[in-house]
Structure 1
Amino acid sequence: MPGHPGSHDSAESRPSVQWLEVAPEWAGQRLDNFLMGRFRGVPKSVIYRVIRKGAVRANRKRVKPDYRIAAGDSIRVPPLHEPEQKPDRAQPGRRVQRRMQAAVLHEAPDFLVVNKPAGIAVHGGSGVDFGLIETLRAGRDDRYLELVHRLDRDTSGLILVARRRSALKALQDQFRQKSTHKVYRVLVVGEWPQAVNRVEAPLQRVTGGTGERLVRVSAEQGKAARTDFRVLERFPGYTLLEARPLTGRTHQIRVHAACQGCPVAGDAKYLDGASQAAWQRGGGDRLMLHAQQLTFETPAGERVTFEAPVPDDFEAQIQRLGKHQ
């Protein structure tokens, strides 16, 4: 009879105990974080409860939430009820998957170097169904892919993606220790001051009137931030710069440029309405900020530099300005 405890239908509908073998990519992670990543739909409280009760075991032994899993560990997980994924949630299609795969500039065993197109978020959320990381996961066989750092949605250029947890930690440590070097190409509105080659202005995150995330200069509450700038070329009403952020604050280059009276061209957050309208009337349709170069040490100990070509749409805007000189 359908629904009888011993029937085939009932047995298939009930969640069962799972045994998960830890792949090398996940070694060193805390048990609780590992399970929350594997069972994203299960509340954290449920994860912690089954661990405390001893229902989760590593190599048949009881373990605590902070247990560091090792490659080859056999993790016993009791039945967990995950809510079904919403059927109307958009997934990255084949076309966007191919586009993102084409943006991968370099593949190494521990990491990927991706030349992110402008207009694509690095991850889903806040009204975005999926971003760069979800698209890469959908289109590749990698068992582990995590963002090492971030780029604003409208900024193009180089971003690192870790393929192993050990690589994620090693690479993120470099960003925290400021031992990586980043170079951006940026077009700003106005005449960049000839004497300014470094901006040191503390930055504070704030929430705008509409709830959007913004950053402002604040000597009292801001965190230290420093950016080096170099003039590459001057155009009527605009200046092409090279920017080297020596710290990694949110919107750092954009706000440091704006506080000099030269906001980034196409920057809807920090450019005044009249200047934005003028930029768009001239054919501008993107934020003119590109992460062009990235230098770091690989997990294998090699110091490397990668460079992302200036995108065609960015270069087209520069060429347009050059014709008016």
Structure 2
Amino acid sequence: MSEKNDLQVTYVTINEDHLGQRIDNFLITHLKGVPKSAIYKLLRKGEVRVNKKRIKPVYKLQLEDVLRIAPIRVAEREEFVPSKLDKVTRLENDIIFEDKYLIVINKPSGMAVHGGSGLSYGLIEALRVLRPEERSLELVHRLDRDTSGCLLIAKRRSVLTALHEQLREKTMEKNYWALVDGQWDSKTKNVTEGLRKNTLKSGERVVRVDNTEGKPSHTRFKVLERFNECSLVQASPVTGRTHQIRVHTQCKGHPIACDDKYGDEEFDNSMRKTGLNRLFLHAHDLTFYHPKNETTMRVEAPLDKALANCLIKLRANKT
């Protein structure tokens, strides 16, 4: 995609990355900071033209289309994501892999993947500040706020589309490490309980097992290491339901350490004695097919100090 400014009018030439994308969706991403209502108003008034012609919001972009975008004020991203904030700049050190098509980052526990619900910004907004030249950064998938580990971000729409297809076809492999209460039965290799979202009176969202009305769900499990009162397991989600691993471990009687929503208080207190102060759920490794390099990639995210130190202490106390 090429772009040039004529006074304050912007001209954009469409390349293969945006081929087939609806013009309204393209503008929402391209004009970050501009409200959707303002974008639809631009289209309605003919202030965005393609090849000098008025178009409707549903128009699908074609190769070499030339967009003329009338002057419009774009809110500065720095207004809501402080570019010098330590938490933002530290993300640079969490990048595991980066090329001109995608980023894999070791998401810190406690950081939401995107802003909203009272949060002014999340990881994707922070990355857009760190990479202002990348106009199309988008999350390929999500992780819970308290979960750490491998998170995939696309730099181009064509890459995003290709990776989403891998998720739909279940050819992308995601393995998580979880420390769970008790001794996990090695024979329990597949958990397939259906899951249903519920909203409590307080507004809190929780997920419950419901094999009648819940969505079909599937997680594969493997024991990695056993300790005196707990087990380190690998959880590989086949489906991608909200809180899936956390609820599937809980329903088998083995909640994850320090899970404030689905955990066991007695077990959590015991684990806190090792210094653990966060949910022990970590997206350890990710295997996917790179849509541009046409190679299979496997990336691995190291455990943070809290998780690594917890395992060191559990091993030292093993009998």
1:199 aligns to 2:186 (yes or no): no
2:240 maps to 1:248: yes
Equivalent residue for 1:208?
A: 200
The residue that corresponds to 2:308 in the other structure is 315
Contact 1:228–1:244 (8 Å) recurs in 2: yes
Deviation at residue 32 of structure 1 after TM alignment? 0.9
Q: Deviations over 1:262-309 (max 9, x none)?
A: 011011010133333333344220111111111111112222211112
C-alpha distance after superposition, 1:52-79 (max 9, x if no partner): 4434211201212122234653323345
2:90 counterpart letter in structure 1 = R
Aligned match for 1:291, one of 264, 283, 286 = 283
Structure-2 change in CA distance of 1:244 and 1:315 (3 Å): same
The 1:244–1:41 alpha-carbon spacing in structure 2 relative to 1, beyond 3 Å, is closer
Mapped to 2, the partners of 1:284 and 1:85 lie a distance apart of 38
Checking the alignment, whether the CA contact within 8 Å between 1:230 and 1:241 is kept in structure 2 is yes
Alignment of 1:18-167 (within 5 A): 18-22=9-13, 24=15, 25-39=17-31, 42-70=34-62, 72-78=64-70, 89=80, 91-140=82-131, 141-167=133-159
Seen in structure 2, the aligned counterparts of structure 1 residues 190 and 144 have a Cα distance that, compared at 3 Å, is same
- Residues 218 and 27 of structure 1: is their aligned pair in 2 closer, same or farther, counting only changes over 3 Å? same
In the alignment of these two chains, the number of paired residues is 309
TM-score normalised by length of structure 2: 0.88
Cα distance in 2 between the residues matched to 1:53 and 1:117: 44
C-alpha distance in structure 1 between counterparts of 2:160 and 2:26, whole Å: 14
User: Match of 1:8?
Assistant: none
Q: What is the deviation of 1:230? A: 1.0
Q: Relative to structure 2, which stretch is displaced further, 188-197 or 225-234? A: 188-197
SS of equivalent residue, structure 1 residue 185: strand
The separation in 1 between residues aligned to 2:265 and 2:315, in whole angstroms, is 24
Gaps of 5+ in 1: 1-15
Give the distance between the partners of 2:71 and 2:301, measured in 1 at CA.
46
1:155 and 1:287 in contact (8 A); partners too: yes
How far 1:88 sits from its partner (Å)? 7.4
2:181 to 186, 189, 200: 189
Offset of residue 44 of structure 1: 3.6
Q: Secondary structure at the match of 1:258?
A: helix
Residues 45/145 of structure 1: CA separation in 2 closer, same or farther (3 Å cut): closer
Q: CA deviation at 1:43?
A: 4.8
Please state how far the C-alpha of 1:22 moved relative to its aligned partner.
4.0
The one-letter code matched in structure 1 to 2:104 is V
Which one has a bigger Cα radius of gyration?
Answer: 1
- Tell me the C-alpha RMSD between the 2 structures: 2.4
Counterpart residue type for residue 127 of structure 1? G
Give SS of 2:114's match: coil
Residues 208 and 191 of structure 1: is their aligned pair in 2 closer, same or farther, counting only changes over 3 Å? farther
- Equivalent residue, structure 1, for 2:4: none
Larger deviation: 54-63 or 249-258?
54-63
Equivalent residue number for residue 304 of structure 1: 297
The answer on whether the counterparts of 1:22 and 1:69 sit within 8 Å (CA) in structure 2 is: no
Q: Could you say if the C-alpha distance between residues 127 and 22 of structure 1 is closer, same or farther in structure 2, counting changes exceeding 3 Å?
A: farther
Q: 1: distance between equivalents of 2:224 and 2:64?
A: 53
Letter paired with 1:306: V
Q: Give, in whole Å, the separation in 2 of the partners of 1:229 and 1:298.
A: 26
**Alpha carbons of structure 1 residues 289 and 174: separation in structure 2 relative to 1, 3 Å:** same
How much does 1:215 deviate? 1.1
Q: Secondary structure at the match of 2:256?
A: coil
Matched AA of 1:31: I
Contact 2:30 2:136 in 1 (8 A): no
